[in-house]
């Protein structure tokens, strides 16, 4: 390759330092371009119209089923609608089977799929219902705040607990934006998405970690003794595959993970945008936010979407 006088002079003067500087500059330019594209594809919270959430986002079948029976109230004490929603009482799971059946006994693939979905579906729905109760509380508090009603000390405590649980780094004093941030995090995971991820991650309930630790979603933990050490764990790695007492706890932590971890921000934004458009979150649509769930990135999203499509008949 022929060198121009200017290029030759540049190389003579700068030598290795110049080449290093050029390489660093190129990395900065590429990183800036990637960041720009990322933010163009994934809107900031300020682009999600916080004022639009009230009145245009309605949760399915909230009604009185999510509220306590009327309680006796001391004379003169005002009770808000949000105080009637019972958040801390766990849903009744005693009527559900949360012990993983032996799915390896099925020789018929279609039968195994049907039984797997039938076992897991009511557990996912129960946990989603619990999340909806939290969401209903936040929605009602937002309506009350917009009417000029200040949250009580007890309500502030609940809101701060929810913020900590869902990794929201602000509090009620931040106003409407705080409630919008909570609503971005506190919502259901579509049943179809949870069913398919469980099927994929646990080999339809037959994997070693599913059978030994009720772990259907491949959740990891990082404290010694917190789970099962993978047989093929890389040298120097410290993660374990979490061990759960039953399937219900596995489902709960899976939903909590998607609703709180920064890696799934895009999933939550796509779900929130669906709410703003008056629609229920769609499993295939919000699966785009699962690129960080596996090391294979977008290929994992495509696998999940294909499995949703191919197994729709068994999930209905």
Which whole number is the average pLDDT over 152-159?
Answer: 95
Q: Are residues 125 and 267 in the same domain?
A: yes
Percent residues over pLDDT 70 in the chain: 69
Let me know if residue 202 belongs to a domain: yes
Let me know if residue 73 belongs to a domain: no
Phi and psi, residue 85, nearest 5°? -85, 125
Which whole number is the average pLDDT over 190-215?
Answer: 96
What CATH number corresponds to the domain at position 216? Answer: 1.10.530.10
The answer to whether 117 touches 307, Cβ cutoff 8 Å, is: no
Let me know if residue 79 belongs to a domain: no
The mean pLDDT of the chain is 78
Let me know if residue 70 belongs to a domain: no
Cβ neighbours of residue 168 closer than 8 Å, sequence gap 6 or more:
162, 178, 181, 182, 185
Q: Are residues 17 and 56 in the same domain?
A: no
The answer to whether 132 touches 66, Cβ cutoff 8 Å, is: yes
pLDDT of 185 over the 70 cut:
yes
Q: Are residues 284 and 236 in the same domain?
A: yes
Q: Are residues 223 and 115 in the same domain?
A: yes
SS3 67: strand
Which whole number is the average pLDDT over 258-266?
Answer: 96
Let me know if residue 169 belongs to a domain: yes
SS3 47: helix
Distance between start and end Cα atoms, the chain: 65
Q: Are residues 25 and 139 in the same domain?
A: no
Structure tokens at 297: 């990135």
28: left (phi over 0), alpha (psi -120 to 50) or beta: alpha
Let me know if residue 86 belongs to a domain: no
Q: Are residues 227 and 190 in the same domain?
A: yes
Q: Which strand (E) or helix (H) includes residue 28?
A: helix 5-41
Cα–Cα distance measured from residue 176 to residue 200, given in angstroms and rounded to the nearest whole number: 39
Q: Are residues 104 and 135 in the same domain?
A: yes
pLDDT of 31 over the 80 cut:
no
Let me know if residue 66 belongs to a domain: no
| Angle formed by the axes of helices 153-165 and 109-146, nearest 10° | 140
Instruction: Write down the pLDDT at residue 241.
Output: 83
Let me know if residue 78 belongs to a domain: no
Which whole number is the average pLDDT over 72-91?
Answer: 44
Q: Are residues 30 and 99 in the same domain?
A: no
Q: Are residues 32 and 56 in the same domain?
A: no
Low-confidence winner among 80-89, 131-140, 157-166, 174-183 (lowest mean pLDDT):
80-89
Cα–Cα distance measured from residue 135 to residue 74, given in angstroms and rounded to the nearest whole number: 27
Cα–Cα distance list, 177 to 56, 70, 129, 141, 315 (Å)? 17, 31, 24, 13, 37
pTM over 0.85: no
For the chain, how many structural domains are there in total? 2
Q: Are residues 259 and 299 in the same domain?
A: yes
Q: Are residues 143 and 265 in the same domain?
A: yes
pLDDT of 198 over the 90 cut:
yes
Q: Domain residues for 28?
A: 5-41
DSSP state of 290: G
Q: Are residues 215 and 178 in the same domain?
A: yes
pLDDT in tens, 47-74: 444 444 433 334 433 333 333 333 332 3
């Amino acid at each position: 390759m022929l060198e121009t006088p200017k290029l030759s002079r540049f190389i003579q003067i700068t030598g290795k330092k110049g080449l290093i500087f050029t390489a660093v500059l190129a990395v900065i330019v590429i990183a800036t371009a990637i960041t720009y594209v990322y933010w163009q594809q994934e809107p900031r919270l300020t682009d999600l119209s916080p004022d639009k959430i009230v009145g245009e986002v309605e949760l399915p079948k909230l009604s009185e089923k999510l509220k306590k029976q009327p309680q006796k109230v001391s004379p003169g004490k005002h009770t808000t609608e949000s105080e009637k929603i019972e958040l801390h009482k766990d849903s009744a799971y005693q009527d559900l089977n949360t012990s993983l059946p032996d799915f390896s006994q099925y020789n018929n693939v279609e039968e195994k799929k049907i039984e797997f979905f039938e076992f897991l579906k009511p557990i996912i729905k129960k946990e989603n219902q619990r999340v909806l109760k939290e969401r209903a509380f936040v929605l009602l508090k937002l309506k009350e705040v917009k009417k000029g009603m200040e949250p009580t000390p007890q309500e502030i405590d609940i809101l701060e607990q929810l913020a900590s649980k869902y990794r929201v780094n602000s509090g009620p004093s931040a106003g409407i934006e705080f409630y919008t941030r909570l609503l971005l995090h506190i919502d259901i995971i579509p049943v179809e998405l949870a069913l398919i991820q469980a099927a994929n991650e646990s080999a339809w309930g037959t994997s070693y970690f599913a059978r030994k630790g009720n772990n259907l979603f491949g959740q990891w933990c990082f404290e010694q003794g917190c789970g099962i050490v993978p047989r093929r764990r890389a040298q120097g790695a410290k993660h374990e595959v979490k061990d759960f007492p039953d399937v219900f706890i596995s489902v709960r932590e899976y939903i909590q993970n998607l609703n709180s971890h920064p890696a799934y921000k895009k999933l939550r934004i796509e779900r929130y945008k669906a709410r703003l458009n008056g629609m229920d979150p769609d499993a295939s649509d919000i699966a785009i936010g699962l690129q960080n769930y596996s090391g294979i990135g977008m290929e994992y999203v495509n696998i999940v979407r294909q499995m949703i499509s191919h197994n729709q008949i068994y999930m209905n």
